[in-house]
Chains A and B, each alone.
Chain A
Amino acid sequence: AQKVTQAQTEISVVEKEDVTLDCVYETRDTTYYLFWYKQPPSGELVFLIRRNSFDEQNEISGRYSWNFQKSTSSFNFTITASQVVDSAVYFCALSEVWNAGNMLTFGGGTRLMVKP
């Protein structure tokens, strides 16, 4: 069965620091998708990125970057020069391709607190 582990339950940084959120996954499938979602204090879930298992290229979007390494089953998320508005809970999730309906298995989430 698939599993997603986010070992860091809470991280606190000071504004402008870089921070990396770890995500480790388990799956028996060779084809799958990985996701990151952000949940700000207002409670909604905001999609950040989707990556398929055949694409190990790192991705950068502004201050956000993602490092996907199949060899270590990890999909880590880095925020560069963090800002107070980055304070949120971040979820990593996995979806196996055979899985009817794109169902997601979520990690437990990492709460990021960025202090001014």
Chain B
Amino acid sequence: NAGVTQTPKFQVLKTGQSMTLQCAQDMNHEYMSWYRQDPGMGLRLIHYSVGAGITDQGEVPNGYNVSRSTTEDFPLRLLSAAPSQTSVYFCASSARGREQFFGPGTRLTVL
């Protein structure tokens, strides 16, 4: 049981490049979400999903896209990377009404 996995662990992009951060969970959780962590600001919600085929925006969705074609996977796409997207990204999953389990994070730097 791997829990929540994220790839890559580290990534450096140039401004304007696009990329996809991968997230997978093997706990059959309905709910999945993406957060970003910036110094002194805690974690902020980017997008979330309450089941396959259903996604919605969180607090800071601009510049990011998501899709959820399966229960297990919830990739986050950066459409055109900007330096303001330099951050640590965490994916999480949970069962209904329960605590969220977080992946190990992806540290992204945009030059």
Chain A residue at minimal CB-CB distance from B40: A108
Once the chains are docked, how many angstroms separate the CA of A50 from the CA of B101?
A: 12
Nearest A residue to B32 by beta-carbon distance? A101
Q: Is the CB of B99 within 8 A of A35?
A: yes
Question: Is the beta-carbon distance between B90 and A45 smaller than 8 angstroms?
Answer: yes
Q: Which residues of A contact B43 (CB under 8 A)?
A: 91, 104, 106
- The B contact surface, by secondary structure, is strand
Report if A107-B101 is in contact (Cβ < 8 Å); known contacts: A100-B50, A101-B48, A102-B31. Answer: no
Q: Name the prevailing secondary structure of the A interface residues.
A: loop
Q: Check A43–B45 contact: CB distance below 8 A.
A: no
Q: For the complex, count residues of B whose C-beta is within 8 A of A.
A: 26
Residues of chain B contacted by A104 (CB below 8 angstroms): 35, 43, 45, 100
Contacts from B to A (Cβ < 8 Å): 31, 33, 35, 40-45, 48-50, 56, 58, 88, 90, 94, 96-102, 104-105
* Other contacts beyond A100-B56, A102-B100: 8, CB < 8 A: A4-B42, A9-B40, A44-B105, A45-B102, A47-B99, A101-B33, A106-B35, A109-B42
